[in-house]
Amino acid sequence: MSHYPEREPAEAYTVVMPNRPQPIVIIGAGGIVKDAHLPAYRKAGFAVWGIVNRTAAKAQTLADEFGIPNVYTSLSDAVAAAPADAVYDLALMPEQYPAVLDQLPDGAAVLIQKPFGQNLAEARVLLEICHRKGLVAAVNTQLRFAPYIAAARTLIAEGAIGELYDMEIRVATETPWEIFPHVLGMDHLELNMHSVHYMDLVRSFLGNPDGVSVATVRHPAKPQVANTRSTIIMRYRDRPLRVTISTNHDHGFGSDFEEAFVKWEGTKGAIRAQLGLMLDYPRGGPDTLAIAYTDKPELGWQPVEFQGSWFPDAFIGSMAALQRYVEGSISELPTSVDDVMHTMAVVDAGYESQEREGVALATKENTQ
């Protein structure tokens, strides 16, 4: 890999539809399917052949809304009837992935909702299944394809802000965890379910870090919810880079000072993308993208045009990349399960770092 991978982004990050779109079979009928997957596919013109869900009524409701012709409660029945070139879109919880992947046809293409397991050990099990069955498998790390991220990626690759030396991601919002009942009672939450997006995004620009330092903690008044606030430092030994991720899902003080942004700083300027989806969640706020130039301070921050948003547009990019790779119109699949294993390793290292609690001050004081 290049010493400066952000200068050579994968072709897949330029969102282009496949030459021969393949039919999609969606497995799952939860909120993200309704709010993101299906609106994205309808907007892009992807044909959804069928939907599979244990609760028939839930699947049928989505089928009626989005014009899906086939509804199944049995995955084996759906696989038996599906077109041979179907792409399976897996949108369940990670603990359900092994059984589902084992039932897919050998050699099938599958897009797996993040996270790729709740921890690195689970991810290794999933990777083994994908390899054993010869699946063309990608993980839906869709933030990589958000329109404002795509625009920033192009500007950085073109050298608009010079040599990158700082990447900062900051989120301070009030997340209503009660609307995600499946996460209540989990031992781990913030890194593996949310900040995995941001650690993965950093990797998509800068490659794999040499080390990770993390502090991630609970809120004292929310005993039913695991860690909800994190500070993450990703270390790149051979470059003068500062990479930080700071998340606070307990900023319950109104919307005036909420924050959700990604900022890149370079020797010639800086780019800032506002993640509107995260503001006033789940209602959302405006997406913005702006650039400032070191040699033109009088201009201040100038808006950069882009079209679309994280939800649903980024989901078009995830599916399009997989289908383009399957048909052979691109040679690299940057969201492959093999690549995202490195993201899971970063998450795992983050939790290990938290357990080690940094360098104990007592060890320094005792040497005096």
Same domain, 73 and 23: yes
Looking at the structure, tell me whether residues 122 and 261 fall in a common domain.
no
In sequence order, what are the beta bridge partners of 291?
Answer: 271, 302
Counted domains in the chain: 2
The answer to the question of residue 354 being in a domain is no
Picking from 266, 290, 309, the residue at the C-terminal end of a domain is 309
Q: Is residue 342 part of a domain?
A: no
Same domain, 218 and 243: yes
Question: For residue 138, is pLDDT > 80?
Answer: yes
Domain for residue 205, yes or no? yes
Q: Tell me: do 124 and 207 sit in the same domain.
A: no
Residue 70: its pLDDT value, please?
Answer: 98
Sheet holding 70-72, edge to edge: 70-72, 48-52, 24-27, 87-90, 109-113, 136-140
Instruction: Phi first, then psi: give them for residue 56, nearest 5 degrees.
Output: -60, -40
Q: What Cα–Cα distance (Å) separates residue 179 from each residue in 94, 132, 221, 281, 288?
A: 18, 37, 18, 11, 26
Contact 118, 192 (CB under 8 A): yes
Q: Do 326 and 278 fall within a single domain? A: no
**CA pair distance 162, 268, nearest whole angstrom:** 5
260-302: pLDDT as tens digits: 999 999 999 999 999 999 999 889 999 999 999 999 999 999 9
- My answer on whether 272 and 202 are in the same domain is yes
CB 287 within 8 A of CB 275: yes
Does the residue 161 lie in any domain? yes
Domain holding 62: CATH number?
3.40.50.720
- pLDDT at residue 182, rounded to an integer: 85
Do residues 329 and 252 share a domain? no
Do 38 and 186 lie in one domain? The reply is: no
Is residue 166 helix, strand or coil? strand
From 14-18, 282-286, 340-344, the region with the lowest mean pLDDT = 282-286
Same domain as 89, residue 41: yes
| Pair (39, 104) in one structural domain | yes
Indicate whether 292 belongs to any domain. yes
- Residue 3 resides in a domain: no
Q: Can you give the CATH number for the domain in which 187 is found?
A: 3.30.360.10
Q: For residue 67, what are the CA distances in angstroms to 18, 20, 39, 262?
A: 21, 20, 11, 36
353, part of any domain: no
The reported pLDDT for the residue numbered 180 is 87
> Domain limits at 239?
147-309
Average pLDDT value for residue range 245-269 = 96
Is the same domain home to 123 and 175?
A: no
User: Residues 139, 233: one domain?
Assistant: no
pLDDT band at 367 (very low <50, low <70, confident <90, very high): low
Please tell me the distance from the alpha carbon of residue 123 to that of residue 141, in angstroms, as a whole number. Answer: 14
pLDDT average, residue stretch 97-114: 98
pTM: 0.96
Query: Which residue type, as a one-letter code, is found at position 327?
Result: E
Classify the C-alpha dihedral 71-74-77-79 as positive or negative. Answer: positive
CB atoms within 10 A of CB 308: 19
Residue 30 lies in a domain: yes
Instruction: List pLDDT tens digits, range 21-75.
Output: 999 999 999 999 999 999 999 999 999 999 999 999 999 999 999 999 999 999 9
> Going by C-beta distance under 8 Å and a sequence separation of 6 or more, which residues neighbour residue 244?
167, 168, 169, 231, 232, 233, 234
